[in-house]
Amino acid sequence: MAILIAGGIYKNKESHLTGGHLISALAARHTYEDVYLHTNFSSEETELTATLKDSLRNAGVSHRSAQSVSAPYGMTGDEGFTVNSNIYDTFNQKAKYLKAIDTVILTTDIGERDFRYILNYARRNGLQILVFTCGEYLPRSVDDKNLVMLENTGLPNYHAHINEIKETLVSRGIISSTPAKNRDIPETAAQRSGRTVIQLLLIAAVLVLLFTGGFKLLEFISSDRVSFEAEVDWSLEVEHDDCDTVETCTELGDRYLSELKEYVDLQDEPHIFFENRTRTTYIDYQIKDFKIADKEVENSLPLGDEETFMSIWNTFQAVFPHRYLEDINEYRLFSDGEGNTAAYVSITRGGTVFAIDVRDNLHKATQYRNLIHEFGHIYSLPIDDFDEACDSTDISCAKEDTIIDKHADRFWSQYDESWLENSHKSQFQLEGFYNNNVTDFYVPYQATNVKEDYAITFMKFITEKIPANSSQLRDVKVQSMYEDAELVALRVDILKSFVQLEKERAT
């Protein structure tokens, strides 16, 4: 029988390689069983890769179960890490070597989807499972007896726990406490030559794919992978005075978007000087019939004047349909410094607070994107979509078949449920989750939770044309909004209102 170990490869500041792959060499030195390593070698860092492969082979590790990807190795340091080569899904459940495997050891410094594929394979085949984690993400549905928490920093510091790992493997009877002497070397010179020929053929195949427009990196399709795609019916009828199908309304929305660019480029990004300040509320305005009715001044404005910030509310209620704004009873001016929370909504059964940071909304394109983002929250989180026992929009209270529940079920089911709300997570864990799923999100903040994911997807849907010919999950989320005739009509109305507002201001 044999052992499969799946672990990541990272470089530290001294360019020494660390990560979960180290466990394979440890195991191979203390067992006569065959040890296979699943990981992603970098085809860009050729010298490091060649040295690592020789080291693994000399230790008795077979790495024919690993793949090479066109990306550098991840970097790790005291303040965080980048995933890079470790993010790609390269596990092939049909590989012949798997027939001999009876034990699977995983670390959570590999991509979360690849982790799931290997874990599911092991479960289906009744294999012994052991998971080591440093808290990069929380593995889903792993029995406590099979999960070893080495640390909870979210950094792949497996090298610092090698003795603890060895003790655990010995106690489970997976390896011996004493080194295995005269262990067989997995590959012969002939096998290495054969592998080189195969690699050259693969490189040639990749070059052909690149030449013909196939830019997808090495990917092995398995039956239990989660597949994401949008099914847009361009002929679907839309109830709108100015267009009648998804196709014609999309084209109309795109024309308004182009027209709006004559006044403001919604993609314009100003330089942000990040600063942290204690969150301070300056003025609370009471809203009645969509207008400012009264106010309570708590602190003096640190910059600008009331008229400037009152105009932002006037823009908001002029652009977005009032049927969605009826519960807003308070408009708040606050700040926590530049570049942090730009705006927020607090939705309860007693009403909705709409708040903007006075430092982060002076640039028009940024202001408009923030307004669209917050409206995305209001649209997707009506309080009636949550259980009556809850007085908030906590995702755990969302009713079935509501907007946010459908979004979570469709686009977040492949992650561990603990990622639906991340306010209690460390910064390292949040960065690790984003890095492990980087093609699922446009920006790290989008990976904070389901609600932010929807709001940023909504903002992209309104402010950009549909991302065509892309299978990346972040683009599929945007594409999926064109499946909804109501959303397509809403996009037209919002962009038309922005154009009309800018024309009025211009004259």
Residue 431 placed within a domain: yes
Q: What is the pLDDT of residue 499?
A: 97
132-141, 296-305, 418-427: range with lowest mean pLDDT: 418-427
Residue 431 has pLDDT above 90, yes or no: no
- Does 364 score more than 60 pLDDT? yes
Confidence of residue 205 (pLDDT cuts 50, 70, 90): low
Question: By residue range, what is the domain housing residue 477?
Answer: 229-269+391-507
SS3 at position 95? coil
Contact 35, 2 (CB under 8 A): yes
pLDDT band at 225 (very low <50, low <70, confident <90, very high): very low
| Sequence-distant contacts of 262-265: CB under 8 A, at least 24 apart | 263/499, 263/502, 263/503, 263/506, 264/364, 264/365, 264/368, 264/502, 265/365
159 shares its domain with 23: yes
The answer to whether the beta carbons of residues 113 and 88 sit under 8 Å apart is no
Whether 93 is covered by a domain: the verdict is yes
More confident of the two residues 228 and 409:
409
| Residue 121 and residue 98 in contact, taking contact as beta carbons nearer than 8 Å | yes
Asked if 86 and 62 count as a contact pair (C-beta separation under 8 A), the reply is no
Taking only the tens place, the pLDDT of each residue in 314-360 is 999 999 999 999 999 999 999 999 888 999 999 999 999 999 999 99
Segment 261-277 mean pLDDT: 84
Residue 55: which H helix or E strand, with range? helix 46-59
Residues 6 or more apart in contact with residue 480 via CB below 8 angstroms = 230, 410
Report which of residues 183 and 48 the model is more confident about: 48
- Give the per-residue pLDDT at 404: 96
CB contact set of 76 (below 8 Å; sequence gap of 6+):
10, 11, 12, 18, 19, 82, 155, 156, 157
Q: Residue 10: which of 445, 438, 432, 439 has the closest Cα?
A: 432
Q: In whole angstroms, give the CA distance from residue 433 to residue 447.
A: 8
Looking at the structure, tell me whether residues 143 and 276 fall in a common domain: no
The share of the chain scoring above pLDDT 70, in percent, equals 91
The pTM of the full predicted model, rounded to 2 decimals, is 0.61
357 and 235 fall within a common domain: no
Tokens of residue 88, six digits: 């790609």
**Please, what is the Cα angle at 105 between 100 and 110, to 5 degrees?**
115
How does pLDDT run across 76-124, given as a tens digit for each residue?
A: 888 788 888 998 888 888 888 899 999 999 999 998 888 888 988 998 8
Query: Is 205 a member of any domain?
Result: no
Distance CA 62, CA 486 (A): 55
459: in domain: yes
Task: Select the more confidently predicted residue: 309 or 218.
Answer: 309
What lies within 8 Å, CB to CB, of 434 at 6+ separation is 441, 444, 447
First to last CA, the chain: 80
Where helices occur in 148-245 by DSSP H, the ranges are: 162-171, 189-211
Total domains, the chain: 3
Instruction: Give 131's pLDDT tier (boundaries 50, 70, 90).
Output: very high
User: Do residue 90 and residue 141 come from a single domain?
Assistant: yes
The yes-or-no verdict on residue 311 having pLDDT over 80 is: yes
Domain co-membership, 146 together with 174: yes
DSSP 8-state class, residue 414 = T
The residue among 401 and 275 whose pLDDT is bigger is 401
Is pLDDT at 200 greater than 80 in this prediction?
Answer: no
Domain annotation covers residue 378:
no
In a domain, 108, yes or no: yes
- Residue 236: the pLDDT is 96
Rounded to an integer, the average pLDDT of 229-242 is 94
Q: What is the CATH number of the domain that holds 71?
A: 3.40.1190
Both 71 and 25 in one domain: the answer is yes
Least confident of 56-60, 138-142, 181-185, 386-390: 181-185
Residue 211 has pLDDT above 70, yes or no: no
User: Residue with structure tokens 């596990």?
Assistant: 91
Output the pLDDT for position 207: 65
| Last residue of one domain, picked from the residues 342, 362, 382 | 362
Residues 255 and 297 in one domain: no
500 lies in the same domain as 423? yes
Domain annotation covers residue 382: no
Closest C-alpha to 313, from 291, 296, 294, 334: 291
- Show the beta-strand stretches assigned E in 108-169: 128-133, 147-149
The answer on 179 and 278 residing in a single domain is no
